[in-house]
Every structure is written in structure tokens, then in C-alpha cells.
């Protein structure tokens, strides 16, 4: 095919993807009022949100849909609630600065409730049904925003929450006048600024193929390739597949995996935390990936060969570093943790929590760096995957931000409204939401449950540049979608577009055939193998896998985003069935085929 025709097709596909992200029209909701453009909600880190259901319909669908975006406290009233109960709840609602009210009938009871809570809070009214004219003035004065649908349906409850949070745009108008204020053909517009959650048919996805995902996942579980998993797929910012399979362990009585459960991301930490922070700092001109390690860490690296390493080479695994150093081995005595270094209780000198009832000397960080610096750097800078450089990245982030990596990353997550991703999981979430990983019989001698699996990150207290991050598939997908959105999410610019392009390219492919991006993995270009299925990911695509059994991938060409999370190393990290059965890439193959996308080896777009 003529290269100029290929370029034109590529351009048209990208334009189609860009406009498709805001062109889904699947609801009948009409936005009647939107003071100060409150909808879609922005700056979620500044909002303390509650939802209040005073309808006769179940609000579970609205609540579950809203929970995809951030943490929300849900309340329920009805006309049978006692005055004492209503008064107590209204008092409790004063603790929130935004309340979303769901109702299917506006009557005196609901109007009075809305009026009372609006005295201290901003109120969004989501009304499914007929607006009651006698109470219209009270409602209109009390609410900052009003979203209305004449049709009562579970679908509209789902879609209305997505409009409020910016998952879906709203541009409908009233078919008939409903009052003197809201006449026929009236309606305000909003834009899409976050992920949406819709049915595959709404994107023309080949639903007859998607059942194969279920089959692949269930077969993997039956063959003990993993106890369970979460799988999410999206196209052009619309999630069309989101399911969980199996249990937390192989015990059939253990908790079934839920979409809200939190997995150990392992090396996906590199792109969902470390690279995210570095790109943010480079966007702010506080960091340059083309500088040397020694430029930022002179106190650690002066007069060492490590000081001369270019950070870009380190992050593309092009610096000649050792693949891995088992730091934990030197902390053992007769195969058990040495209590010259460890303590069962925290103290002023034992602050790094390694596992349950196991704390490491805080000063052991220096020993780790001395061990690294005593390890030779390879003379030939060929591609060699390594975690070692990320120990320095963790220190660089502390230096340039004056804060630790945990703090900086979680500030970004909060800005995006993401509350199911972060370090130190047992401090944030109930243990029953966290599937366990390995039954560690070599180092910690316990089941690793709620603590980072990676030994090096554990020695540093659970926060590493290469490991330590936990998340569910949904929050990780939001980060990957932000990358696809060229650094924008939730109406905020998180990263500079040019910086994302720089980090997700392959700077050493032409000179060294190294496929890697800067921290990001890239598809193999010369055939099958690698992290992606053959001919289903363009050269522009990027992502990363994780040792614990994870993979996430995003492709700007197709608009497809994919997340697979599992605990395949439970109870034994030597279980490689997930890899030998090719589970993750087979699922990716189904997703791309269902979306009607494929490439050939020259990256010629042959569909859609």
C-alpha cells in the first residue's frame, strides 16, 4: 500500500477516535440547570460527596456507577422515615460539601429535604420521572444543577451518574415543555472528561466474540494458572468489558474476586507511579530524563560509575545494570530473618514494615545502595531488563519533590479522583479486598497478604520505584486513559503531551533494536512474542506487565485500553502457567478482534 495512503488512513482513524470519545448518545437525560458549570464534576480531590436516595426506585445502580469515579457515602430516605431519623441524616449530611439527590417524585417531603440540605451544601438533583410543578421554584432555587429524564429506567440511573462525573456527555433537549422555566427544546450541554461504562453494542463491538474472554479466564482458573482475576477493556474512553473471575485463593470458600478488589501491581508500579511522577516533574521543568543519575544524587553517586549513567538509558534498560540483586539474603540467619536487623515491633530505628510483625532497620537503605554500588556495570550497553535503576529513581523523586514517592503519587491519584490505588494497602483498605500473593518460605516465612511481594521494595518499607503499588483494574485504567488522552483527565492537565510522546516512544530501537520506551514496555516489532499478541498492537502502543500476574496496555492508534490483574503467584511464585498458557495475550487478542482492529508487521492499519 502507498505510504501516503497509509498515513491518510491513520490520520482519519485517529480523528475518528478523537471525536468518537464524545459522541456516544445512549441516554435520554436532559441537563436543565448547571450553575457555574458544576457538571461534569472537576477537582474531585476538593469534594466530599454524598448521594441521597429519596426515590421509590432502587438507587443501587446509580450508586455503583458513581463508585467507579471516586469514594462516595450513600444515604437513603423515604416518606416512611421518621422525623427524628430525617433530622439526624440531614445533620450528618452537613459533613459533605456536595450532595447528589436521586428521586423519581418531587413532592413536599423531598422538596423540603432538598431545601434543608442546600442551606449548607451544593446540591445536584437527578430526577427520573415527572417534575412536580408546585415545588419547582423551591427545587430550582435549592439546586446548583438539575439532571432530568422523563423515562424511569435502570439505564438512565446508570448513565445519569456518568454524566455528573463526566463519563458521558449530555446534549439532549426536552421533547415537551415541563414548566414555564423549562420549555420544549431546552437543554444544556456538557462534555466527556473521564471513562464511561457502556454496553459493547453501543460501540459496535462484536459481542459474539467477547464470551471467549470468559472461557479463557475460567480455563486458566481451572488449570490453577491463577486463583482469580480482574479484566477490563475500553475503546475511545468507553469501558465495554469489566468482569472479575474466580476467588482470592484456590479455596472455593475464599472470597470471590470483585471489581473493587485491590491487587499487587508489581512492575506496573514503574509506569503507574515512577514514570508518572517523572513525567509530571519534567512537564513542570523540574526534571530532565536526559540528565545523569549523579546530577540529581551527588551525595550518593559522586566518584562512582553509576553517577555517569544517563537516566533515559536506565529507564530503557540500556545502562548495563544487573537484572536483580537479592538484597534480602544477607538479612537472613540460618534462613530466617536476623533479629540483629529486624524487629517484631516498630521502633525509632525499625520503621520499615516488611510483612506482618516484621520491621526492618530504617538505616538498611544505606546497605542496599552500598550493595548496588559494589556491583559492576556491564561494559556493553545492550538491552538487559533491570529493576536496579529504580532504587535511584525513588531517591531522585524525593530530591526533586521534597517528598517521598508515596506522597507525590497519591496526590496525583487524588486529583484524578482515584481512591483505589496506592502504596501501603493495609493502611487504606480492608484486608478482605486484597488477594494474597506468595506463601513466602524463603524470606518472610508467612503468606504475603496486604504487603508488597517484591523483596527489595519490602525492605524499603513497601514503597519502591519498581514495585509497591496496589490497585484495582478500574483505577489503573483511568491512568492509562489519561496517557491516551495526551495527559488530560477529569478536565485537568496532568502531564504535558510532548512528554508522554517522549516516554512512550522507543529511543534506542533504531540503534540497538531495544523495543523499550522510557519506563514503558513496547510491542515486539519482528514477530510474535513479547507482551502483546501478534498484529493487534501498533508501534505507538505501550504498557507494562507485572511479576504477580498483571498486564496493562494502551494503543493510541486503535483507542483500545486493556487491564488484566491477577495473583498468579499464589501460593507459589514458581507457578508459570499463566505465562505458558498465554492467558493475558490471548485475551488481548480477543479484545482487539472484537473491536475490529488489526495491524500487519509494517504497522499498516487494515481495520477498523
Among residues 593, 305, 164, 262, which one has the least CA distance to residue 156? 164
Q: In the sheet where 238-246 sits, what is the strand order?
A: 196-197, 238-246, 228-235, 560-566, 550-555, 542-546
- Do 354 and 451 meet the contact criterion of CB atoms below 8 Å apart? yes
C-alpha distances in Å from residue 170, one per residue of 25, 162, 482, 583: 8, 10, 21, 38
User: When comparing pLDDT for 604 and 209, which is higher?
Assistant: 209
pLDDT for the residue numbered 507: 95
* Separation CA 20–CA 26 (nearest Å): 13
Write out pLDDT tens, residues 399-413: 999 999 999 999 999
* Separation CA 533–CA 104 (nearest Å): 48
pLDDT for the residue numbered 11: 37
- Do 566 and 577 meet the contact criterion of CB atoms below 8 Å apart? no
pLDDT mean over 548-569: 98
* Separation CA 474–CA 552 (nearest Å): 11
Q: Where are the beta strands (DSSP E) in 227-363?
A: 228-235, 238-246, 263-264, 332-333, 336-337, 342-343, 350-355, 358-361
User: Percentage of the chain with pLDDT > 90?
Assistant: 78
Among residues 465, 440, 459, 452, which one has the least CA distance to residue 359? 459
Among residues 311, 313, 316, which one has the least CA distance to residue 297? 311
What are the start-end ranges of the H helices in 376-532? 389-401, 405-415, 455-459, 473-484, 497-503, 509-512
pLDDT for the residue numbered 19: 34
Pairing of strands 73-76, 49-53: parallel
pLDDT for the residue numbered 106: 78
pLDDT for the residue numbered 136: 73
Residue with cell 442546600: 118
Q: Residue 107's pLDDT band (boundaries 50, 70, 90)?
A: confident
pLDDT for the residue numbered 336: 97
pLDDT for the residue numbered 341: 98
pLDDT for the residue numbered 401: 96
Residues in Cβ contact with 381 at an 8 Å cutoff, skipping those fewer than 6 apart: 313, 318, 319, 320, 512
Q: Where are the beta strands (DSSP E) in 515-582?
A: 542-546, 550-555, 560-566
Q: Residue 8's pLDDT band (boundaries 50, 70, 90)?
A: very low
| Domains of the chain, CATH where assigned | 1-22+195-260+472-608 (3.40.710.10), 25-191 (3.40.50.1700), 262-470 (3.40.710.10)
* Separation CA 256–CA 236 (nearest Å): 30
pLDDT for the residue numbered 269: 98
Please give the DSSP secondary-structure letter assigned to residue 270. I
pLDDT mean over 583-595: 96
User: Percentage of the chain with pLDDT > 70?
Assistant: 92
The mean pLDDT of the chain is 91
pLDDT for the residue numbered 57: 65
Q: 20-45 in b/e burial notation, b at 16+ Cβ within 10 A?
A: ebeebebbbbbbbbbeeebbbbbebb
User: When comparing pLDDT for 417 and 4, which is higher?
Assistant: 417
* Separation CA 598–CA 607 (nearest Å): 6
**Is the pLDDT reported for residue 272 higher than 90?**
yes
pLDDT for the residue numbered 525: 83
* Separation CA 310–CA 297 (nearest Å): 12
Ordered DSSP codes for 210-238: HHHHHHHHHHHHHTTS-SEEEEEEEETTE
* Separation CA 476–CA 563 (nearest Å): 8
Cell numbers of 465, please? 520505584
Amino acid at each position: 500500500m502507498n505510504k501516503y495512503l497509509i498515513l491518510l488512513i491513520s490520520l482519519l482513524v485517529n480523528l475518528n477516535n478523537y471525536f468518537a470519545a464524545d459522541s456516544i448518545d445512549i441516554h435520554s437525560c436532559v441537563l436543565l440547570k448547571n450553575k457555574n458549570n458544576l457538571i461534569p464534576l472537576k477537582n474531585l480531590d476538593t469534594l466530599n460527596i454524598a448521594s441521597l436516595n429519596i426515590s421509590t426506585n432502587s438507587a443501587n445502580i446509580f450508586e455503583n456507577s458513581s463508585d467507579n469515579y471516586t469514594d462516595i457515602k450513600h444515604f437513603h430516605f423515604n416518606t416512611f422515615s421518621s422525623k427524628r431519623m430525617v433530622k439526624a441524616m440531614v445533620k450528618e449530611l452537613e459533613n459533605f460539601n456536595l450532595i447528589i439527590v436521586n428521586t423519581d417524585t418531587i413532592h413536599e417531603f423531598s422538596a423540603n429535604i432538598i431545601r434543608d440540605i442546600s442551606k449548607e451544601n451544593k446540591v445536584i438533583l437527578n430526577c427520573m420521572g415527572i417534575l412536580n410543578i408546585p415545588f419547582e421554584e423551591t427545587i430550582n432555587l435549592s439546586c446548583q444543577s438539575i439532571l432530568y429524564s422523563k423515562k424511569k429506567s435502570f439505564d438512565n440511573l446508570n448513565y445519569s451518574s456518568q454524566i455528573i462525573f463526566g463519563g458521558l456527555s449530555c446534549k439532549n433537549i426536552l421533547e415537551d415543555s415541563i414548566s414555564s422555566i423549562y420549555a420544549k427544546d431546552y437543554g444544556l450541554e456538557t462534555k466527556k472528561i473521564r471513562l464511561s461504562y457502556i454496553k459493547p453494542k453501543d460501540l459496535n463491538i462484536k459481542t459474539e466474540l467477547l464470551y471467549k474472554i470468559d472461557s479463557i479466564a475460567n480455563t486458566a482458573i481451572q488449570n490453577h494458572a491463577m486463583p482469580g482475576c480482574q479484566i477490563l477493556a475500553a475503546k475511545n474512553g468507553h469501558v465495554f468489558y469489566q468482569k472479575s473471575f474466580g476467588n482470592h485463593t484456590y479455596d472455593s470458600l475464599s472470597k470471590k474476586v470483585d471489581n473493587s478488589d485491590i491487587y499487587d501491581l508489581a512492575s506496573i508500579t514503574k509506569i503507574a507511579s515512577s514514570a508518572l511522577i517523572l513525567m509530571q516533574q519534567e512537564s513542570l521543568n523540574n526534571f530532565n530524563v536526559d540528565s545523569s543519575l549523579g546530577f540529581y544524587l551527588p551525595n550518593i553517586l559522586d566518584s562512582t560509575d553509576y553517577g555517569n549513567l544517563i537516566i533515559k538509558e536506565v529507564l530503557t534498560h540500556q545502562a548495563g545494570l544487573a537484572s536483580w540483586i537479592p538484597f534480602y539474603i544477607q538479612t537472613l540467619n540460618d534462613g530466617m530473618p536476623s533479629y540483629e536487623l529486624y524487629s517484631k515491633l516498630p521502633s525509632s530505628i525499625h520503621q520499615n514494615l516488611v510483612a506482618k510483625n516484621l520491621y526492618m532497620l530504617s538505616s538498611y537503605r544505606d546497605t542496599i545502595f552500598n550493595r548496588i554500588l559494589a556491583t559492576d556495570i556491564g561494559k556493553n550497553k545492550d538491552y538487559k531488563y533491570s529493576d536496579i535503576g529504580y532504587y535511584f529513581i525513588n531517591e531522585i523523586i524525593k530530591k526533586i519533590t521534597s517528598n517521598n514517592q508515596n506522597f507525590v503519587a497519591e496526590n496525583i491519584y487524588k486529583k484524578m479522583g482515584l481512591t483505589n490505588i496506592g502504596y501501603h494497602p493495609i493502611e487504606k483498605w480492608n484486608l478482605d479486598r486484597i488477594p494474597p500473593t506468595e506463601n513466602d518460605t524463603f524470606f518472610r516465612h508467612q503468606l504475603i497478604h496486604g504487603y508488597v511481594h517484591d523483596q527489595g521494595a519490602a525492605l524499603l518499607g513497601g514503597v519502591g520505584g519498581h514495585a509497591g503499588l496496589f490497585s484495582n483494574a478500574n483505577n489503573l485504567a483511568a491512568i492509562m486513559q489519561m496517557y491516551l488522552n495526551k495527559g488530560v483527565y477529569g478536565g485537568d492537565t496532568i502531564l504535558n503531551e510532548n512528554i508522554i510522546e517522549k516516554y512512550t516512544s522507543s529511543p534506542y530501537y533504531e540503534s540497538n533494536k531495544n523495543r523499550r520506551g522510557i519506563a514503558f514496555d513496547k510491542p515486539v516489532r519482528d514477530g510474535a512474542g513479547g507482551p502483546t499478541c501478534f498484529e493487534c498492537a501498533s508501534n505507538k502502543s505501550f504498557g507494562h506487565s507485572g511479576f504477580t500476574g498483571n498486564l496493562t496496555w494502551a494503543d493510541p492508534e486503535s483507542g483500545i485500553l486493556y487491564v488484566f490483574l491477577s495473583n498468579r503467584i499464589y501460593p507459589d511464585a514458581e507457578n508459570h502457567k499463566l505465562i505458558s498458557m498465554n492467558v493475558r495475550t490471548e485475551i488481548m487478542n480477543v479484545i482487539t478482534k472484537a473491536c475490529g482492529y488489526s495491524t500487519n508487521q509494517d504497522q499498516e492499519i487494515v481495520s477498523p
